[in-house]
Amino acid sequence: MKSMQLVIVESPTKAKTIGKFLGSGFRVESSYGHIRDLPKSKLGIDVEHDFEPHYIVPVKARKNVTALKKLAAKADRIILATDEDREGEAIAWHLTQALLLGKSQITNSKSQIASDPSVERIVFHEITESAIRDALQHPREINMDLVDAQQARRILDRLVGYNLSPFLWKKIVRGLSAGRVQSAALRLIVTREEEIKSFVPEEYWTIHALFSAGKKKEDSFEAPLYSVDGTPVEKFTFKKEADVKRITEELEGSIFSVRHIEEKDMRRNPLPPFTTSTLQQEANRRLHMSAKQTMMFAQHLYEKGYITYMRTDSVHLSEQSLRAARNYIEAEFGKKYLTEKPVYYKTKSRLAQEAHEAIRPTDPLLTPHAIALDDLKEKKLYELIWRRFMASQLPPAVFALAGVFIESDNKKFVFKANGASMRFDGFLKVWPQTFEERTLPALQEGEKLDCKEVKPEQHFTEPPARYNEASLIKALETNGIGRPSTYAPIISVIQNRNYVQKNEDRRFVPTEIGFLVNKVLAEHFPEIVNLQFTARMEEDLDSVAEGKKDWRDVLGEFYKPFAEHLAAKYESVQKEKLAPQEETHEVCDKCGKPMVIKTGRFGRFLACSGFPECKNTKSLAPTGDKDLGPCPKCKEGKVIRRRTKKGRFFYGCSRYPECDFASWTKPQSGKSEIKNPKS
C-alpha cells in the first residue's frame, strides 16, 4: 500500500499553495479554521473545577472533522502546519483532540501532550518551497504554553462577556454585550469625545513679515517672528490682539537686514519594515482600508505565498531577504542607493521573537508589476508592503536646510526664514512622501531687505482629533490593550454593537448607547475599562505564553473578585433611564397613527405609537451627522444615513418605502447609486 503523509492547515488557499510544493506522497487538507470551540448556548466553563472548558465541534465543522478523521486513520505521518502564533498553535492542539491523534485525547494537561511520532508540528514564516521543505526537516511538538495562553484569553473573554452582558440587559436595555478589551477601546473613544465636548478654545496670535531682496517675484519670501529682545517667540507669546498691535506698529517703521545665515544638511531615515500594527495604520492612512480589510487581504497574500506571516511584532529581517533586497537595489537603482552594509532594525516589543520576521515580500523580485492579482485592493496592499520593505534597505534622504535670521535696526526683533531642498532622494525613491520644497533667494549676511508687509494673524487652539482606525490602533498598542492580531476584531466589535459609528471624516463617534454602556461600566466595573488593568491582563497572558504563569491561576486571580463584585452590583445598581420618548409630526405609513422617537440597542429610531399592535419602525440619521440635503430622486424627503441588517451604513431617503433611493456613497459625491443595499 502506498504511504501517505497528511498535512493539515487552516485554509483551502493555504492548502492549495503548499500542495504545489509537495510531491505525490503528500495530501494537504484544510481544517477551515477552528474545529472546536466553546458552545454558544451556555457558558461552557466549569468555574467550580479549575475553569475546565467544555469544547464542542460546531455543527458547521462536523462534516469536515469526520473527513479528516478518515484521512488521518490512513496516513503514515500527520503534519500539523497551522500558523505560528497562539491561535495557530491552539488550532493544531484542537486537531489532535478532535481527530483523536497521539496518546492524549481530550485532555488539557501539559503532561499528557500527544507524543505519537506519527503526529508532528511544523511552523514557517512564509509559504515558499524552501520554507516548507525546511520546516518538514525540523518538526517540533505542540507548544502548550502558547495553547494555554490562547485558551486563557478565550475563557477570560467568555467569563466577562457571558456574565457582564446580562447585567447590561437588566440595567440598560436587552441585547447589549460587554467585552474585556472592547470595553477598554470604547473607553478611549468616549474619553476623547468628552475631551472634545469640554474643550475651551484659546486665542493666540502669530506675526509674519513679507520681505523682498529684489524686484522679481521670486525675490520675495515670508518669515515668522522668531524672537523679541532675545526671548524666543512661542505659541502663546501673543494671546490678544492688543499684544501684537503695538509690535506691528513698531515693525512697520523698522529697517531690516540679514544678520546670519545657517546652512546644514538633514538626513531623514527610512522607517522599519511593517509589523501587524504599523501595516494596519499605514493601510488606513494611505489606502483608506479598515483594519479588518487589511488583515483579510494580508491573509490572502500570505496564503498565496507573496508575503511573510502577517501577524508579527518583530521588525527582524532574514539574511537571505537582505541579500536579495541589496541585489535588486544595486541592479535597479545603482550603487549610490546601496548602503554600506544591510540595515538592521531593533524590535521594541518584549515578546517579539527574533526568529520571527517583519512583514515583507517573500521575494523582492516579485515587484508589484510582476505579480498577477485580480483584486485591486489586494494589489495595492502588496505594493505598500513591497515598497516599505525595499525602502527600509535604502539610504536616508538628504535635505539642504537654510535658516536666515533677519534683524531690525534696533536689534529688538528677529525673524527667521527657513528654506529646504532635496539633495538626495534615498529611500524616498520607492516610498513617496509629501515634501514641501521652500526656496529662498540668494542672500548675503548684512544685506538690506525691504519689508513689504507685516501680517498679524489670529488663531484658536483646536480640540484633540477624534480617533480614526490608524490612531486608535496606535493608542491600543501604546496602552498595551490587546495584541496586533486582536486590533481588527476589537474595532469591528464596537462598531457592530453600535457603540461607535464613523462620521463623514471616517473618525469614531460614540453613540448614545456607547456613552451609556461606558458610563455604567466606568462607574460600577472600573477595572473592566481601566487601561492599566487591561494592560496587566495582557502581560499575564504573555507570561502564560512564556511558561512563567499557569493559565488557571491567572483566571482564578481575576474571576473570584469579579464574580463577587458583579453579584453585589446586581442588587445595588438602579436601572438606567433611556432618553424619553419624543413625539413627531410623522404618520405611520402602515396604520396611520403618529410616529414617535424611541431609544433602543441601536440608538434612536422612529416607531409607531400603536406598538405592540403595529410594529412599524424606521431609521433616523445618527446624531451629529451633517445635513445631507434633499433626496435627489423624489425631492421631498431628506437623505439620511441608514443601517442594513448586517450593520453596514448606506444613504437613503427618509420617505422610504414611498421613495426607494439608496446609495453606498453620499449622492453629492457623484458616484453611482445602487438600490436597496443588502449587505
Name the pLDDT band for 460 (thresholds 50, 70, 90). Answer: very high
Is-contact 588 595, C-beta < 8 A?
yes
Q: Could you identify the residue written with the cell 505565498?
A: 305
Average pLDDT over residues 599-620: 82
C-alpha cell at 371: 505579480
**How do 5-9 and 77-80 pair as beta strands?**
parallel
Asked if residues 440 and 419 have their Cβ atoms less than 8 Å apart, the reply is yes
> Given this model, what pLDDT does residue 115 score?
45
User: What is the number of alpha carbons within 13 Å of residue 437 lying toward its C-beta?
Assistant: 8
Domain final residue, candidates 423, 441, 460: 460
Write the CATH number for 547. 1.10.460.10
Q: Which residue has the higher pLDDT, 576 or 331?
A: 331
Determine the pLDDT at residue 647. Answer: 54
List strand residue ranges (DSSP E) for 517-674, in order.
Answer: 582-587, 594-600, 603-608, 617-619, 639-643, 649-653, 662-663
Average pLDDT over residues 85-100: 93
Mean pLDDT for the stretch of residues 568-586? 83
Q: Of 460, 476, 503, which closes a domain?
A: 460
Give the residue carrying C-alpha cell 546652512: 263
- Domain membership of residue 491 (yes or no) is yes
Q: Does 675 reside within a domain? A: no
Q: Does residue 558 lie in a domain region?
A: yes
Same-domain check for residues 193 and 210: no
Q: Give this prediction's pTM.
A: 0.83
Tell me if 35 is assigned to some domain.
Answer: yes
Q: Which domain holds residue 470?
A: 151-199+465-572
The pLDDT assigned to 380 comes to: 96
Percent of the chain, pLDDT > 70? 92
- Give residue 346's pLDDT: 87
Q: Report the pLDDT value the prediction gives residue 627, as an integer from 0 to 100.
A: 56
Question: Which pLDDT score, from 0 to 100, does residue 433 have?
Answer: 87
pLDDT over threshold 90, residue 152? yes
- Higher-pLDDT residue of 243 and 673 is 243
Are both 404 and 264 inside the same structural domain? yes
302 noted as active-site residue: no
Catalytic residue from among 306, 309, 337, 656: 309
Residues 298 and 383 in one domain: yes
- DSSP H/E element including 573: none
- Report pLDDT digits (tens) over 8-23: 999 999 999 999 999 8
pLDDT, tens digit, 9 for 90 and up, residues 503-529: 888 999 998 889 999 999 999 998 888
Closest CA to 273 of 315, 241, 310: 315
Question: In this predicted structure, what is the pLDDT of residue 529?
Answer: 84
Q: What is the pLDDT of residues 155-174, one digit of tens each?
A: 999 999 999 999 998 888 88
Q: Is 301 helix (H, G, I), strand (E, B) or coil?
A: helix
Same domain, 9 and 136: yes
Q: Could you tell me the CA-to-CA distances from 627 to 243, 292, 630 in Å, in that order?
A: 39, 29, 9
- Going through 112-196 in order, the beta strands assigned E by DSSP cover 119-121
Reading the block at residue 258, the C-alpha cell is 540679514
Nearest to 555, CA basis, from 541, 569, 542: 541
Question: Where among 530, 553, 572 does a domain terminate?
Answer: 572
The region that residue 670 occupies, defined by phi over 0 for left and psi between -120 and 50 for alpha, beta otherwise, is left
Show Cβ contacts of residue 390 under 8 Å, excluding neighbours closer than 6 positions: 325, 328, 329, 364, 430, 431
CATH number for position 453? 2.70.20.10
Omega prior to 441 cis, within 30 of 0: no
CB atoms within 10 A of CB 21: 17
| Per-residue model confidence (pLDDT) at position 648 | 64
Section 639-651 average pLDDT:
71
Q: Which residue in this structure is represented by grid cell 469625545?
A: 193
Residues 587 and 627 in one domain: yes
Secondary structure element (H or E) that encloses residue 653, with its range: strand 649-653
Q: Are residues 62 and 184 located together in one domain of the fold?
A: no
Q: Is residue 677 domain-resident?
A: no
| Neighbour tally for 258: CB within 10 Å | 19
| pLDDT of 104 | 45
Give the amino acid at 628.
L
**Residue 112 pLDDT exceeds 90:** no
- One domain, residues 312 and 227: no
pLDDT value of residue 505 = 87
- CATH number of the domain bearing residue 380: 1.10.290.10
For residue 621, the model assigns a pLDDT of 55
Report pLDDT for 598: 83
Please check whether residue 349 is in contact with residue 313, taking contact to mean a CB–CB distance below 8 angstroms.
yes
Alpha helix stretches (DSSP H) within 393-511: 469-479, 484-496
Residue 558 has pLDDT above 60, yes or no: yes
Residue 166 shares a structural domain with residue 294 = no
Query: For the chain, what is the domain count?
Result: 5
With a CB cutoff of 8 Å and minimum separation 6, the contacts of 439 are: 218, 419, 421
| 678 in a structural domain | no
CA angle 10, 385, 18 (to 5 degrees): 30
Cell of 188: 478611549
Contact 125, 362 (CB under 8 A): no
Give the up-direction half-sphere exposure of residue 484: CA atoms within 13 A in the CB hemisphere: 23
C-beta separation of 234 from 391 below 8 A: no
**Which set of grid coordinates corresponds to residue 510?**
460614540
Residue 173's closest CA among 528, 495, 603?
603
Quote the CA–CA distance of 460 and 446 in Å, as a whole number.
Answer: 36
155/660: higher pLDDT: 155
- For residues 367 and 332, the answer to whether their CB atoms sit within 8 Å is no
Q: Are residues 207 and 193 in the same domain?
A: no
In this structure, the answer to whether residues 542 and 641 fall within a common structural domain is: no
In this predicted structure, what is the pLDDT of residue 674?
Answer: 42
Predicted confidence (pLDDT) per residue in 209-256, tens digit: 999 988 787 889 999 999 999 999 999 999 999 989 999 998 988 999
Cα separation of 679 and 668, whole Å? 22
Residue 676 placed within a domain: no
Write the pLDDT tens digit of every residue in 49-61.
999 999 999 999 9
The answer to whether position 99 is within a domain reads yes
Placement of cell 481601566 in the chain: 530
> Do 534 and 388 share a structural domain?
no
Same domain, 280 and 416: no
Rounded CA separation 662/642 (Å)? 9
Mean pLDDT for 447-465 is 94
Whole-number mean pLDDT of the chain? 88
